[in-house]
Structure formats: C-alpha cells, structure tokens
Amino acid sequence: MTQPDPAGANPMQGVVPCIAMAGRTAEAMDFYARAFGAEDIGRMPFYDGSPGVMHGQVPINGGALMMTDSGMNPGGAEVRTIQTGSGHLQLVVTDGRMWWNRAIAAGCTELVPYARQPWGDDWGMVQDPFGLKWGIMQDGGAQ
C-alpha cells in the first residue's frame, strides 16, 4: 500500500485535486517543492494578461496537485478565498519521519504529532501556510 514514493508514477491518474489558491498559486508551488519535494511542471498565465497563475501543477509522491488563482466559479464572479473545509490531503510514504521533518522545516504547523497510531501506522497531520491540512502516513508494516 505504500507504493508511490519513488518518481515514475503517472500523476494524472486517479483523483487530481485542483484548488483555488486566492492569488497565492506561485507561492504555494514554491512552498510545496520545499515541504513535500514537489516538482514544478508548469505555470500557465491567464490568457488576458491578468496577474497570477491560471493553472499550476506539481507532482507530489506520485500524484498531482493542480492549483489556480482563478476562483473557478462557473457563474462568473471570481472567488478569491481558499475554502478548505474539514478534510485533508493524505501522503502515504515509505519514510514518514523524513517527510514529516521536511514539512515542519519548510514552515508547516503541526496539528497532530507524528507517532505510531492505534491502527498500527505512523501518522501525523500538519497545516501549510495556505490553510491546507496534510496527513503524512507510513504503513506500520513497512518498517
């Protein structure tokens, strides 16, 4: 179950979140490179020359995260806030402590300490400076 970690997986399969970043896409892409080893594979500007990033994409741990400075409101009016709700993005990795330490060093805030959980896996949760929550998990059987 702890597969993706290494590069080479197709990041365009499965569910690919696309998050409106309220004008902070470029900053978020740079941060995710430091915090989660993301690779910047493209920043598309707005067609009309407006400031910001219309579409940005970063592979992280074998999957992809897409971002935009557009509010993505099909009704027309632009939404300029990040709406994060109560969920989180989950990273399942082979070296959870390394991923945890890198995220904290880059500026993520600890929400739940990284530790062995009652279900047997090592897991913790951080929040990035943009309000998104990230779970970092290492399969307890992978040690």
CATH at residue 63: 3.30.720.120
Q: Which of 60, 76, 79 is closest to 68 using CA atoms?
A: 79
C-alpha 24/C-alpha 105 separation (Å) is 20
Q: Would residue 35 count as lying in a domain?
A: yes
CATH at residue 107: 3.30.720.110
Domain stops at, among 71, 103, 119: 71
Q: Are residues 61 and 91 in the same domain?
A: no
C-alpha 107/C-alpha 105 separation (Å) is 5
Report pTM.
0.79
Per-residue pLDDT of 58-70, as tens digits, reads: 999 999 999 998 7
Q: Are residues 33 and 66 in the same domain?
A: yes
Per-residue pLDDT of 101-120, as tens digits, reads: 999 999 999 999 999 998 89
**In the prediction, which pLDDT does 71 show?**
65
Residues 36 and 89 sit within 8 Å (Cβ to Cβ) = no
Q: Would residue 25 count as lying in a domain?
A: yes
DSSP string, 53-103: EEEEEEEETTEEEEEESS---TTSSPP-S---TT--EEEEES-HHHHHHHH
The model's confidence at residue 75, banded by pLDDT at 50, 70 and 90, is: very low
Q: Would residue 76 count as lying in a domain?
A: no
* Residue range 49-65: mean pLDDT, rounded: 92
